[in-house]
């Protein structure tokens, strides 16, 4: 059976328009009652990356969160809204993103992810620790924002689940994966497989292009997506964004693992067609990884040439956020300068993602420029 993904158009975040759009989006999938029922504890997992206002398109829009919370409560559920923000405390992010108000309006309870519980992994990773509230919920509804992503090309349904890893543990996972996008993608997929969301609803009314997920540019797409299988949802989201699935480490790894939804032929799109909704392909991050497909020994030897390097730009205010977030501790600071040890750097781009002043730059060498040019010619980028 093919994995169904429903696409609906929604031009603005007007409350009534959003409510009508979500109801019709879910209708062909069986409506909200098909996924959650009376007495269940349902956890909504929006993207709450940083304390940015909704119009920055960094976080899932509060109107979508409110509408889904109301629908689940209408189905008789207890509703929680939780995440572990990459930057800033949960309360600050919830207030600034409007999700605090969405919880109040809908009667949902906020559940910051601060307590961890471990489960035995079933694949590459033997132990996986994520937020206790995530394990303990009866059902998860994943509410990602569609954005470009400097490390993983795109963040949507599968990547959003990494937010279930409690803040302080995220750097350790980056360290484990090192420079391997494939290994990091596998971790994301194994988190998904350990506890599968019952439903994924993507906010692509306003998405993000360019240097996402923290410092890209908002782009109006006017769409919502929904589906049970996040791999299939991401496949359709990529089509909507005009991003070839081969550029997505998550989709490549899902294909290697033989997961349903990782081939276009596995997917059945319901409602609008992605090619009709999309106005133009998303602008990709400037420093996209162009080394995929190379043999491992070449990757290791050429890593420093085929991946851009992080370096603090003129706007750096020496606030120390990147230094504290850097998984391998490759960043050092003096009173007047910031330095990156390129040998230690694993190119995870947490520093760029979290820099509150958009001051961490990507510097490209000559080889990388040539490789990017070649890929552009082959219409990959
Ligand atoms: S987070 Fe940004 S502003 Fe702060 S020290 Fe790092 S590069 Fe500079
Ligand atoms: S310097 Fe930046 S890209 Fe390099 S490891 Fe640290 S956080 Fe990741």
Ligand 1 in reach of 319 Cβ (< 6 A): yes
Of 277, 310, 328, which closes a domain?
277
Q: How far apart are the first and last CA of the chain?
A: 32
> Cα(149)–Cα(214) distance, rounded to whole angstroms?
8
Count CB-CB contacts under 10 A for residue 377: 9
Q: Regarding beta strands 309-312 and 199-209, do their DSSP bridges make them parallel or antiparallel, or are they unpaired?
A: unpaired
Note whether residue 291 is domain-resident: no
* Residue pair 186/231 in contact by the 8 Å Cβ criterion: no
> Cα(296)–Cα(200) distance, rounded to whole angstroms?
34
Ligand 1 in reach of 330 Cβ (< 6 A): no
Count CB-CB contacts under 10 A for residue 68: 29
Domain harbouring 193, CATH code: 3.40.50
186 CA distance to ligand 2 centroid (A)? 20
Tell me the pLDDT band of 24, cut-offs 50, 70 and 90: very high
- The length of the chain in residues reads 381
Note whether residue 287 is domain-resident: no
Residues 190 and 300 both lie in one domain: no
If you ran DSSP here, which 8-state letter would residue 168 be given?
G
Query: Which pLDDT belongs to residue 307?
Result: 80
286 CA distance to ligand 2 centroid (A)? 16
Ligand 2 in reach of 340 Cβ (< 6 A): yes
Ligand 1 in reach of 110 Cβ (< 6 A): no
> Cα(381)–Cα(270) distance, rounded to whole angstroms?
28
Read off the pLDDT of residues 330-347 as tens digits, 9 standing for 90 and up: 999 998 899 999 999 999
Relative orientation angle of helices 230-241 and 249-256, to the nearest 10 degrees: 140
Residues 216 and 312 both lie in one domain: no
Residues 261 and 300 both lie in one domain: no
Residues 271 and 302 both lie in one domain: no
Percent of the chain with pLDDT over 70: 91
Q: Which residue has the tokens 């990494």?
A: 162
Ligand 2 in reach of 146 Cβ (< 6 A): no
Q: Which ligand is nearest to the CA of 343?
A: 2
- Return the best residue to mutate from 322, 335, 337 for the ligand 1 pocket (most ligand atoms within 8 A of CB): 322
Residues 84 and 159 both lie in one domain: yes
- ∠ CA 316-155-209, nearest 5°, is 60
Residues 252 and 322 both lie in one domain: no
Name the strand (E) or helix (H) holding 65. helix 62-74
Total tally of structural domains belonging to the chain: 2
Domain harbouring 352, CATH code: 3.30.70.20
The predicted model gives 113-129 an average pLDDT of 92
Phi, then psi, of 114 in degrees rounded to 5? -125, -5
Question: Which structural domain range is residue 313 located in?
Answer: 296-377
pTM of the model: 0.91
């Amino acid at each position: 059976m093919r994995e169904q993904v429903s696409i609906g158009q929604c031009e603005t975040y007007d409350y009534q328009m959003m409510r009508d759009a979500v109801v019709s989006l879910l209708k062909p999938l069986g409506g909200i009652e098909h996924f959650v029922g009376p007495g269940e504890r349902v956890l909504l997992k929006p993207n709450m990356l940083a304390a940015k206002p909704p119009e920055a398109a960094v976080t899932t829009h509060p109107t979508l969160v409110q509408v889904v919370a109301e629908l689940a409560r209408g189905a008789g559920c207890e509703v929680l809204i939780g995440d572990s923000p990459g930057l800033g405390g949960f309360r600050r992010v919830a207030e600034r993103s409007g999700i605090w108000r969405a919880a109040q309006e809908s009667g949902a309870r906020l559940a910051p992810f601060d307590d961890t519980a471990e489960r035995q992994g079933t694949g590459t990773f033997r132990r996986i620790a994520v937020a206790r509230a995530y394990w303990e919920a009866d059902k998860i509804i994943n509410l990602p924002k569609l954005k470009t992503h400097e490390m993983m090309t795109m963040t949507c349904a599968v990547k959003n689940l990494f937010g279930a890893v409690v803040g302080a543990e995220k750097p350790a996972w980056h360290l484990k994966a090192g420079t391997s996008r494939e290994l990091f993608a596998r971790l994301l997929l194994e988190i998904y497989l350990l506890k599968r969301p019952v439903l994924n609803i993507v906010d692509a009314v306003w998405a993000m292009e360019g240097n996402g997920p923290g410092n890209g540019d908002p782009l109006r797409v006017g769409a919502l997506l929904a589906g049970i299988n996040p791999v299939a949802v991401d496949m359709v989201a990529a089509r909507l964004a005009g991003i070839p699935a081969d550029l997505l480490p998550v989709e490549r790894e899902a294909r290697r693992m033989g997961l349903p939804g990782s081939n276009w032929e596995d997917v059945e799109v319901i409602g609008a067609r992605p090619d009709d909704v999309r106005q133009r392909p998303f602008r990709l991050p400037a420093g996209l990884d162009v080394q995929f497909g190379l043999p491992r020994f070449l990757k290791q030897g050429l890593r420093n040439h085929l991946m851009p390097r992080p370096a603090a730009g003129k706007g750096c205010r020496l606030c120390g956020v990147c230094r504290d977030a850097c998984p391998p501790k490759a960043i050092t600071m003096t009173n007047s300068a910031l330095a990156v040890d390129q040998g230690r750097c694993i190119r995870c781009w947490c520093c760029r993602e979290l820099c509150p002043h958009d001051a961490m730059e990507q510097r490209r060498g000559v080889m990388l420029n040539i490789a990017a040019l070649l890929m552009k010619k082959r219409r990959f980028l």
